[in-house]
Structure 1
Amino acid sequence: FTVLPPVIQGLGTSGGFDFRLQDRGGIGSTQLQQWARQIIQDGSAQSGLVGLYTLFRADVPQIFIDVDRTKAKTLDIPLNDVFGTLQAFLGSAYVNDFNKFGRTYQVKVQAEPQFRVQAKDINQLEVRTNNGAMVPIGTLVDVEDTLGPQVVFRFNLYPAATIGGKPAPGFSSSQALTLMEEMVNTKLPPSMGFEWSGISFQEKQVGGEAMLV
């Protein structure tokens, strides 16, 4: 899909409308994704709307790590050390800064790529107990493949999916907003809601008002 520049430079990152579909009843990210796709499908059938899209995805492959807190306590291993080890080896951990050639550089530690390529590599990591012994993390965690949202967006505190789009040729932006509202008001369950953001919010706020010069 193509993305137009914003009508007012500096207000938003693209043109068209900015619709936020909200999960107000805790139905979960999977249902939120399904409703977002349903709205896009229904909106695409409207003659006054074009280019509907969403970047929200609730089925991104992920790895879920379940730490056995009871066993960690029995082995005298602080939970912060377990999480810190996972972060340092799989992600990165900030150490300090140093200056060289008139510039400041950050020092970060991280495992070499060949030691963090596969999920099973997590079991080979080791964490230190308070007594100084090294224990494989594989004895403390269960690693599972799962699906989930890559990013959990929130809008006015509610989990939300952003839906973008624009009016079709021959339709005004206010007509496009009205079409979206009429469509979702007849379809959304009570556990769902929506709000406008960016320039669409400003348009709804001042719609119908006349400016005095």
Structure 2
Amino acid sequence: GRLFREFGVVVAGAVLISAFVSLTITPVLNVVLHRESTHTEGSGHGKFYDMTEPFFQGMESWYGRMVGGFLKVRGLAWLVVAACAGLIYFIGKGIPNELAPLEDRSSVRLVLTGPEGMSFESMEKVSAQVAAFVSDSVPENDFVFARTPAGGSANTAQVRVGLVPPDQRKRTQDQIAKYLTRSTKRFNDARIFVVQEQTIAVGSGAKSSVPVQFVLQNTDLEKIKEALPKFLAAARQDPTFQNVDANLKFNKPEVQLTFDRLKIRDLGLTTQDVAAAVQGAFGGRRMAYFLRDGRQYQVIGQVDRGARSAPNDISRLYVTNSRGESIPLSAVVHQTENSNPATLYHFNRFKAATISAQLAEGKTVGDGVRAMQAIADKVLDPDVFQTALTGSSRDFAESAGNTTFAFLLA
């Protein structure tokens, strides 16, 4: 399919060349080599045939004697087959499993993720520091480009390092990536993943993603919230990985407001009055338009910045009831501070969390997938959670599943 497009082109080209040779050169060569000998005592074939035929006759006679001898002990054939199958199994088991060896494409990406709530200015400062460090510490760079944000939130950034061609540098792309992985641990303001573009990847996003991506799925977000820290702790202790993170983070601070409806009614208020007061002070609601110098502007209703910078500022607000009395909102509104994800993710219609991991030195995608599955079997309840792979890990699993069939077919 799409993964082996180059291989398909090579096979198709080989078939076309073979067909051309079979239909043109081979018949002519056969005629030339089998011309009748001019000698009266010849075999009726050419000189080349007379010179080579004794060798083939001897080989045919030797093969006949070997087959005849083997048929006398034909039961040994099953032992030979079993020995070959065992040898194939043990050799195949020891070979590292990889989708495809990483090619030196003269490009390395650094994916940065800061704490939830980190401002754009702070994240841009961190990405600039990382870009400056990479530019100074990697003399093989051709260019260094940083962009903030690199995703849907302001606490993400990406630094791309373009390298000079391989024949103009002493270190390979893989050696530079390993050096950056060790060196960027000094930056404590953001989690940094050093990513090499995958040789074979389906989709543009998969090329720049980390090699191992494991998905936890459940219909209940609270169960994911309970299991995710345990899974991350186990994955970070596994020697197969050196950087582990999840896209679902329960660390976005929120303030939940609960209205005391009975008290609101007793004080001569309505729920709409209380909600309108909160929205007007903090929501930035558009109230009207006005024109000036041929331009249209919006009228946004909200209190000054200094009066809406903390959750307790809501206690300073008052709302007028039906009797003209000013009632403090703190009398009818209760605050509860908690943390929730900034974004809810879904995979196959389930609520999901994707664990991304960077492989340790000497480890392959196959090692990472097996390690993730072993952690899932140990930490997760199989009757409650479903798991899946995505990105390069999914490509590897899909291709590896067909390897045995292709081997048997061959």
Partner of 2:32: none
In 1, Cα distance between the equivalents of 2:385 and 2:215? 11
Residues 1:149 and 2:343 are matched in the alignment = no
In 2, Cα distance between the equivalents of 1:207 and 1:99? 65
> Greater helix share, 1 or 2?
2
Alignment gaps of 5+ in structure 1: none
Structure 1 counterpart of 2:375, from 168, 183, 190: 183
Structure 2 counterpart of 1:21, from 203, 212, 216: 216
Structure 2 counterpart of 1:53, from 232, 245, 269: 245
Cα separation, partners in 2 of 1:40 and 1:120, compared to 1, 3 Å? closer
Structure 1 counterpart of 2:271, from 76, 79, 82: 79
Q: Identical aligned pairs, as a percentage?
A: 19
Q: Which has the higher contact order (CA 8 A, sep 6+)?
A: 1
Partner of 2:328: 136
What's the CA shift for 1:151?
2.5
Write out per-residue CA displacement over residues 80-110 of structure 1, whole angstroms, 9 at most, x where no aligned residue.
4422332332242234566778987654322
What's the CA shift for 1:66?
1.6
Moved more, 146-155 or 4-13: 4-13
Cα separation, partners in 2 of 1:11 and 1:207, compared to 1, 3 Å? farther
In 1, Cα distance between the equivalents of 2:256 and 2:263? 18
How many residue pairs end up in the alignment?
Answer: 207
What TM-score do the two structures reach when normalised by structure 2? 0.41
Partner of 1:161: 353
Q: Is the 8 A contact 1:48 1:176 kept in 2?
A: yes
Alignment gaps of 5+ in structure 2: 1-190, 404-410
Q: Is the 8 A contact 1:21 1:160 kept in 2?
A: yes
Cα separation, partners in 2 of 1:186 and 1:129, compared to 1, 3 Å? same
Q: Is the 8 A contact 2:209 2:391 kept in 1?
A: no
In 2, Cα distance between the equivalents of 1:65 and 1:110? 18
Moved more, 20-29 or 99-108: 99-108
In 2, Cα distance between the equivalents of 1:53 and 1:11? 17
What's the CA shift for 1:123?
1.9
Moved more, 55-64 or 156-165: 55-64
Cα separation, partners in 2 of 1:45 and 1:138, compared to 1, 3 Å? closer
Q: How does 1:198-213 map to 2 (within 5 A)?
A: 198-209=391-402
Q: Is the 8 A contact 2:288 2:298 kept in 1?
A: yes
Q: Is the 8 A contact 1:68 1:141 kept in 2?
A: yes
Which is higher, the Rg of structure 1 or of structure 2? 2
In 2, Cα distance between the equivalents of 1:83 and 1:197? 43
Q: What is the letter of the counterpart of residue 111 of structure 1? A: V
